[in-house]
Structure 1
Amino acid sequence: MRAAVLTAYNTPLEIRDVPDPTPGRGEVLVRVMASGVNPLDTKIRRGMAAHAKMAPPAILGIDMAGVVEAVGEQVHQVQVGDEVFGMTGGVGGIAGSLAELAAVDARLIARKPEALSMEQAAAIPLGFVTSWEGLVDRADVTAGEQVLIHGGAGGVGFLAVQLALARGAHVFATGGPASQQVIRQVGATAIDYTTSGVEEYVDEYTSGEGFDVVVDNVGGATLDASFAAVKRYTGHVVSALGWGTHSLAPLSFRGATYSGVFTLLPLLTGRGREHHGHIMSQAAALADHGGLAPRLHSTTFPLDEVNHAYEIIENATATGKVTVLPHL
């Protein structure tokens, strides 16, 4: 099969012919129809993501959608011909989705939503799993709560907004001037962080009380702002980018709580993979009921142009999630 191979950090991926994978016990062989590109993928290529534990030579690509071609022993939840999607590799030394075929752990996948194309389905897994772990597993968002999502037009934030809305929350999302229309169109109240400070939007939308749940998809100063925006006593901050050094004093002074999300853990440790498959099933159900769809970049790329796809992410010129189609 053809695959995009990382031969050395900070070099372009090389298109090579490599042996077809064989599904082992508990695995399925998937013909990859679409591979979603995440900022983490580009950081791995540059050697800037040691936590992902992916060393050259390696096939990258965390997210995928495709068709089951063969089923290994002890696999019962899917069968040959099923269209599936999931967050299945590209970290922890596991071959990723930038290839024509991938042998993946069946626990990590679910049937692709009928309402979405392969490209759309491949743009969902990492972002939705991150959002679910934060909003559902950690914060247990319920109907009527006020939820603030930082980076509401981003790859994770855009899906988080839809998930919070589906759970009945009143959703607010921050973004720059160019993101305001996108945020409003997906159903959230848009907040321009370049013109409105934390105290201002906390006063305007919560009468100074703070938001029940604050989701940080940006990190750095935005996580600090989250600590100042959360509701006193009962508020909860969730972040997928809680790295670096932060003062917990603003959070402590509000009597609020914090949780971190590290979405890669099941792939890195082998523990909790069934839960990721469950989350994918929930994503499919939500999409088929019209409550979930990704925002795609205007162009999809064949495998031969994978480095161009990565450049768009690295240069921050993507207008939505970027996908690579190995069979295009």
Structure 2
Amino acid sequence: MSDLPLIQADRAVPSPAATTTATGGRGRRLRLLSRTDRVVVTLMVLVPLLLVVGLVWLPAVATVALSGTDWDGIGPLGDIEWVGARNYTDVVQNYPPFMPAVRNNMLWLAALFVVATPFGMFLAVLLDKELRATRFYQTALYLPVVLSLALIGFVWQLLYSRDQGLVNAVLGTDVDWYGDPDVNIWAVLLAAGWRHVGYVMLLYLAGLKGVDPSLREASAVDGASESRTFFSVIFPVMRPINIIVLVVTVIESLRAFDLVWVVNKGRNGLELLSALVTQNVVGEASRIGFGSALATIMLVVSLVFITVYLVTVMREGRR
């Protein structure tokens, strides 16, 4: 009877060999999982990196390189002739559509920045008050953002139709809104602004939801009005959102293409830099070098604002 506890204790204690085997098995499983995780993480980083390099950076570098050449894009690479800065000189001095395109892009930027952006911010402030049917209004205002600009062009083409359009029927006019070069840029800007308002509204609404409620309470205690509170307290706090909206607006004005291409392929009063690039690269008279020079100009302008945005974000991160 006295030996029974010792026998049970011996049975309860595993042998050193079994312990080593079990530990070794767990160690191998852990090492296997760790190796698998490394492979998964490597693929998750490498695949997007290759896609970005192959679809964004390599074409961008090739565009900058081709901007100094004279090539139609059809002949062999040996036919490429290096012309240096001649394409840039021809763009500025000997290409009549260039300056109208620059003016239209600046007008596009001004319309989005001065009209559409403040209106989107105003709608965000209203929706932030948790009005009745707020979700419905958010969905209705954001719906144009989901649609492509090409589809928006077709939708507004029905509204702007000279014979059966809603705009002429309401105003009692007979205007060719898309065909008249004196008014078509304004008609297109209204359609583009309609889409941009929903995007800005969503960005500012997200920013307003992240503002500390104590700031509003402190302003109310000090007797500040709602407008004074917004412009003096809330708006400065949303500085990162303001930078994002600024960069997005600039990029939207530069890459505007779908809408004018659907209307008349960027001609007859709707000249834009992006449309000129497409006309020269894949148009009837293909001039890869000349079109690449136009695209490089757009790239440089975009990089200025993107750099400003990145510097601002990094500074905010350090703080």
TM-score under structure 1 length normalisation: 0.24
Structure index of larger Rg: 2
Between structures 1 and 2, the one with greater helix share: 2
Between structures 1 and 2, the one with greater strand share: 1
